[in-house]
Amino acid sequence: MEQYKTIKHTFEPVWNEQSEILILGTFPSVKSRENQFYYGHPQNRFWKLLAGIYEEPVPETVDAKKELILKHHLAVWDVIGQCDITGSSDSSIRNVIPADIAGLLAKTSITAIFGNGNKACELFQKYTAPALTALAQTSAIQKLPSTSPANAAWRLDRLCAHWQEKINPFLIP
């Protein structure tokens, strides 16, 4: 049985001053930690989904992924800055230190926050929303179905349609 490890998030959020939509995951998977970038597992559908929504080629490099995010006024980060975890299992997460999402929001034009899956939303509500409310910042998060391959109930085409429907009102024309 794999042991718990205390792991700190070691790569920065992707954003710029024009970012208007923040997409939050929970914490980087083992593959993402190895790659030092978001959604690094080859079976995670995040990059295919964004490419489908924006009718762009699927980005292959970290630079291309950053370009896709920033071109469409997005920001990507995780709710957790540090935690104890076994492998990549979100259900094993404990001893959470949240990421400084309030600090990020203060530097951007973000008007909408979306959670990539149930766990991202649960962790946001528990660890981040109270701090944002105290600072009079937006503390609402909208749940999107996870792009994880474990979410087999959602085929890629259905995921794309649902994500696009949810974020479309916030897209820059």
Catalytic option among 16, 35, 44, 95? 44
Q: With beta carbons less than 8 A apart as the criterion, state whether 75 and 69 touch.
A: yes
Q: Is 44 a catalytic residue?
A: yes
* Residue 126 identity: K
* Residue-by-residue DSSP string for 98-167: E--HHHHHHTS---EEEEESHHHHHHIIIIIHHHHHHTT-----EEE---STT-TTS-HHHHHHHHHHHH
- Using DSSP, state whether 51 is helix, strand or coil: helix
Structure tokens at 163: 């994500």
* Paired strand residues for 159: none
* Paired strand residues for 21: 74, 112
Task: Find where tokens 């490419």 sit.
Answer: 51
Q: Which residues are identified as catalytic?
A: 44
